[in-house]
Structure 1
Amino acid sequence: MSGDLEIDHGGAIAVDTEAMRDVGRRMTSLASHLEEARDAVMRARGIIVGAPGFAEQVDVGALEASRDRIGALRSEVDEASIGTLLMADAFEIVELRAEAEALAHTDAAAAAALEARIDRMVAADARIGAMADQLVAQWENERFEGLDTQWDMGELLPPFFTIGAFIGTTARLGHVLPGMTLKGDVEPVSVTTVKSSTPDAPPATLRGAFERMPKDASAQVAVEKLRFDDGSTKYMVYLKGTQNFVPWQAGGPEPWDMKSNAELYTGEKSASYQAVIDALHAAGAESGDTIGVVAHSQAGMIAVHMAMESSFDVEFVATAGSPTVGTFRDDQLAVQILHTDDVVGSMSGGGSPAGSGSPDSFIATRVADPNPGIQDLALAPHRFEPYLETAEMIDESDDPRAVALDDYWTRLGEAVSVERTEYHAERIR
């Protein structure tokens, strides 16, 4: 597995703001305890020195050295605490700016109120604004790492591998904000069952979830209905990426094609999106039912819009190589995997500098294919297999958010039965 894995709450945000503030407050508390310990050592020294003949029995110099070490440690903890709280404020500035940008589409007054709050925070301490700017600038410099080092036939190829990044950053279509719903008419599709089965258990790892993509070559969607002891149900849906890349066949029977890619990226309803909704209904899901979505490539765009606008209660989203990223609710667990050298994934503009979703949500990035070669022409970093490797790296990570993801698999594992159906969809002509 190549490339170091990075897990962040958002592109420019290492951890959830409140989690960082909690660390800062604990460090402040530790500093006060260290000061108490330093005072205790000083009192002990005073007692020893004041007692006749006692000083000759105790190494007063060692006590003084301990006092000095504790004092120095307290100063270090104080400095670290101040820096941590400042960084939390900088993270909040990044988050507030992103939130204000999102609200500008739906609530101009609320966006203006956030901008005023940002101005007050920056006015109170100019360091906060500068740190926020630096965080975003660093993220912008690193978000497409690896794209410019892919194979170009000795500079004979045009800048093909940076096209996605150019589109993502200039068109600004790769970040779906609240209120941005799919528009246009729905193309009619037919959804038919390919096969049904009863797996022993739901997925227990992130890689295991991605590996539950439809097994049959003709199926694009798999839906699993999970039943629990209390009579409740949940649905997990697994969505393949683009199945037909041929431009002149776009709009044909295959809904997972370049026509749907273009439609979803530009905010239009696609046959593939409608096929997923129809497949869920065919599996028994109704409006308000709890859904988890696992998706690769084009299907990542479907997953984003399902989470943000469908009638289902989407509690979990895992995307790999999606050309768009979403703005998820605070109660939605979102795992977004992006290879920074993935041309398709770069159309998201590198993701978002701020996080969204629950505090345990995260964006995982790495360079999937750092060695230039002819495989770059086949978009090797975007292929499903490298994303499976990244999912496995997340499973093995000791990052607290990756560890917290295990809680979701544990809850799914409480299901007493699983009914799985794979579906094939076609446009109706």
Structure 2
Amino acid sequence: MIPPISVETNTFRYTLDALLVRSDDLRRVAATVANAAQYVGISARLNSEPERLVLKIEIEHAAKDIAEVHADLEGVIATIEPSEWARASLVTGGPWPVTRGVSEWVVNYAPWLSVAARWVPVTMTRRIDNANAPQDFLERFARVPTGSERVRIDRFETETGPRFEVYLAGTNFAAGPDNPWWVGANTELLASGASRSMSAAESALDHAGVTGTTPIVLTGHSQGGAIALALANSGRYAVEAVFTAGTPAGLVESPANVPIVHVVHPEDPVPALGGVIRGTAGTTWIVHTEPRTTGTDAHLASNYQESLRRLDGLRDPRLMALENRLQIDGPGTAMWFRATLAGD
């Protein structure tokens, strides 16, 4: 089992390149030390100096240790899935120029934009009182809604006023252009930093009583994570943290001065579609699926749920410190929302 790996967002795009460079460096250093040991051995035999024999043995041991580290590193590189190599080739170059160009054309000329208003109303489908506050990333992600409900908002009353936890679902691949969460919303986010799905999320925030000063924590899967980043980057909300899983985070600019935690499966092709993560904020956790899955199956929320369970088991001090800072005492009110479509 490959353990989760944490990398800072601004170095994430160079991780694989660095592995290759370091591997080649180690190979060359090991060869150089081995050659040096040979030269010392020849000199020792010619001069019969015990000290040089001892030095020769020490250098040989060092060369062996370096060679073993090099072999281990080669093994790590060999375990990287082909999909991760593909993703690395994307994130080292930036968002696809073709994808960006197509996205801009779509937003400017898309015929479906006329079927729904830019401000998308929502309907609260249900409400539950006495909802417990989430304790960690795992519990937050478990609350991301499914089905026609795409937004869940938990409201908690505290001594300093209301606080909100917001959970945003990803793309509805079965939906058509009249649904704000259809697949085309991703191109809207890439081209303009906004989308009808983001507008629907803001309608839900307004309905739940979120203002520009009430603290909120945003959690999203896939497109929902991109919406969370866009909301945080808008400056219209007092965002305390953003948690994403399986998100093409490069679709939008990452906000500065906001704690961000990304979790991605190297086998999941969707995060690569965002290209380079724009901005330097946040930490990305690379978590291999267990048991190993590939393609779109690696993007499923259920597989990310299991990976977050493994990540939670690491008890990482930085992640725990953030989760502890976000703790809320006491029950709250949970609300679910779906977009109000034409004909409702």
Answer whether TM exceeds 0.5 for this pair: yes
Separation of aligned partners in 1, 2:290 and 2:171: 21
Tell me if the contact between 1:265 and 1:324 (Cα under 8 Å) persists in the aligned partners.
no
Q: Deviations over 1:219-245 (max 9, x none)?
A: 1100111111x2411111101111135
Amino acid at match of 2:142: E
**2:303 matched residue in structure 1:** 386
In 2: Cα distance, 1:263 partner to 1:165 partner: 24
CA distance in 2 between counterparts of 1:289 and 1:406 reads 18
Give the 3-state SS of the residue equivalent to 1:194 in structure 2.
Answer: strand
Which residue of 315, 327, 343 maps to 2:254? 327
Distance 1:3 1:382 in 2: 18
Query: Is residue 338 from structure 1 mapped to residue 260 from structure 2 by the alignment?
Result: no
- Alignment partner of 1:169 is 2:93: yes
Corresponding residue number in structure 1 for 2:317: 400
Whole-angstrom CA distance in 1 between matches of 2:298 and 2:193: 27
Q: Tell me whether 1:204 sits opposite 2:129 in the alignment.
A: no
TM-score (norm 2): 0.67
- Tell me what 2:27 maps to: none
Q: Which residue of 1 aligns with 2:333?
A: 419
Pairing 1:346-385 to 2, within 5 Å after superposition: 346-349=272-275, 351=277, 355-356=280-281, 361-368=282-289, 371=292, 376-377=294-295, 379-385=296-302
Tell me how far apart the structure 2 counterparts of residues 4 and 255 of structure 1 sit (CA, whole Å). Answer: 37
Q: Which amino acid aligns with 2:320?
A: V
**How many Å separate the matches in 2 of 1:265 and 1:370?**
32
Residue identity matched to 2:287: R
Counterparts of residues 6-405 of structure 1 (less than 5 Å): 6-10=5-9, 12=11, 145-148=80-83, 162=86, 166=90, 169-171=93-95, 187-214=118-145, 217-228=147-158, 230-245=159-174, 249=176, 251-252=177-178, 254-325=179-250, 326-330=253-257, 332-349=258-275, 351=277, 355-356=280-281, 361-368=282-289, 371=292, 376-377=294-295, 379-405=296-322
Secondary structure, counterpart of 2:93 in structure 1: helix
**Distance in 1, Cα, partners of 2:91 & 2:233:** 23
Distance 2:82 2:192 in 1: 26
Greater radius of gyration (CA): 1
CA distance in structure 2 between the aligned counterparts of 1:171 and 1:387, rounded to whole angstroms: 24
Residues 1:404 and 1:276: Cα distance change in structure 2 (over 3 Å): same
> In structure 2, do the counterparts of structure 1 residues 269 and 148 end up closer, same or farther at CA, with 3 Å as the change threshold?
closer
2:9–2:284 CA contact under 8 A, matched in 1: yes
Distance 2:2 2:331 in 1: 38
Kept in 1, the 8 Å contact 2:254–2:277? The answer is: no
Q: Which runs of 5+ in 1 are unaligned?
A: 14-137, 150-160, 174-182
Relative to structure 1, is the Cα distance of residues 428 and 201 closer, same or farther in structure 2, using a 3 angstrom cutoff?
Answer: same
Contact kept? 2:91, 2:276, Cα under 8 Å: no
Deviation at 1:297, TM superposition (A): 0.3
How many angstroms apart in 2 are the aligned matches of 1:304 and 1:402? Answer: 18
How far residue 424 of structure 1 moved from its aligned partner, in angstroms, is 0.9
Cα deviation for residue 321 of structure 1 reads 1.0
CA contact (8 A) 1:238 1:293 kept: yes
2:4 matched to which residue of 1? 5
- What's the CA shift string for 1:238-274, capped at 9, x where partnerless? 011111356xx3x22x211112121112235311000
Report what 2:59 is aligned to: none
Alignment-mate amino acid for residue 303 of structure 1: A
Give the letter aligned to residue 170 of structure 2.
Answer: G
Aligned residues: 262
CA RMSD of aligned residues (A): 3.2
**Offset at 1:338?**
1.5
Which residue does 2:45 correspond to in 1? none
Q: Distance in 1 between matches of 2:288 and 2:195?
A: 31
